[in-house]
Amino acid sequence: MTNIKYIRTLPRDLRILIAVFVIVLTLGVTIGLIYVGINTDYTSSGTQSFYAGDQVSSDFEIPEQYPK
């Protein structure tokens, strides 16, 4: 088996596949971070509220996020 040290020495189709994979992976992570940021306002209390849920009180208020 040959020792491939550089991406530029790979066949063209394989380089395109790797490039598309990296682009799709980058887009997915970016969209995920934007989604979490929008829902949590990039704060620790927002993140806690989003993932753990809000406290349910005896009032007639409907919580934004139910406790988990």
Per-residue model confidence as pLDDT tens digits over 21-50? 999 999 999 999 999 899 888 888 888 777
Distance CA 27, CA 52 (A): 27
Does 36 reside within a domain? yes
Q: Are 55 and 38 in contact (CB under 8 A)?
A: no
Does 30 reside within a domain? yes
| Total of domains in the chain | 1
Does 21 reside within a domain? yes
Identify the residue with better confidence: 59 or 23: 23
**Structure token pair of residue 25:** 């992976």
**How high does pLDDT run on average in the chain?**
83
Is the pLDDT reported for residue 59 higher than 60?
A: yes
Does 60 reside within a domain? no
pLDDT category at 60 given cuts 50, 70, 90 is low
CB-count exposure of residue 47 (10 Å: 0-12, 13-18, 19+): middle
